[in-house]
Amino acid sequence: MSISEQLLGDLALYGMPLLFGVTTISCAGVPLPTSLLLVAAGSFADHGEMNGAAVIVVASLGAVLGDQIGYAIGRWGDRALADRVSHWIGGEDRLTQAEAHARKWGGWGIFLTRWLLTPLGPFINLASGFAGYPWHRFLIWDVLGEVLWVALYVGLGEVFSHRVQALSSLLG
């Protein structure tokens, strides 16, 4: 059984606490199929098994918390800690690229990596902390982007609830 299948089964069993935990861990940098869980949660909401608004709030809070963990490691952790964390999320080269991206694009980069370029999100979290990007600005862009990401995927799950399998294949 794949991790995706396991998490989908667990989502049906544990609901919101699992969604919050997986979203937090994923946004902190551990690669998990969170987008797939959001689509499934949207489908569950469409079938009346979950509350759609609550799913959006809980998943958004988890996503923002995970991003804040990454930012805090970059901002207040030492470089050795960041190097260890960067191994989990793809290596030092990707972290260096993300740091340059964070300096160049600032808030728009944070916003876009929350919902459009999601695989870059954990790198940008660390890089924003390294670059000394102001926390209050990071938080604003982070919240805007994460709420959009969660709402888009939950909405897709609700709209295409009868075709979740095909949609999950399309989204990878």
pLDDT tens string, the chain, 172 residues long: the values are: 899 989 999 999 999 999 999 999 999 989 999 999 999 999 999 999 999 999 999 999 999 999 999 999 889 887 677 677 667 666 777 767 767 777 788 899 999 999 998 888 988 898 888 888 899 999 999 999 999 999 999 999 999 888 866 766 666 5
Asked whether the beta carbons of 143 and 65 are under 8 A apart, the reply is no
pLDDT, position 120: 83
pLDDT, position 167: 61
Identify which of 70, 132, 140, 71 has the alpha carbon closest to the alpha carbon of residue 111. 140
How far apart are alpha carbons 43 and 60 in whole angstroms?
17
Say what the pTM is. 0.88
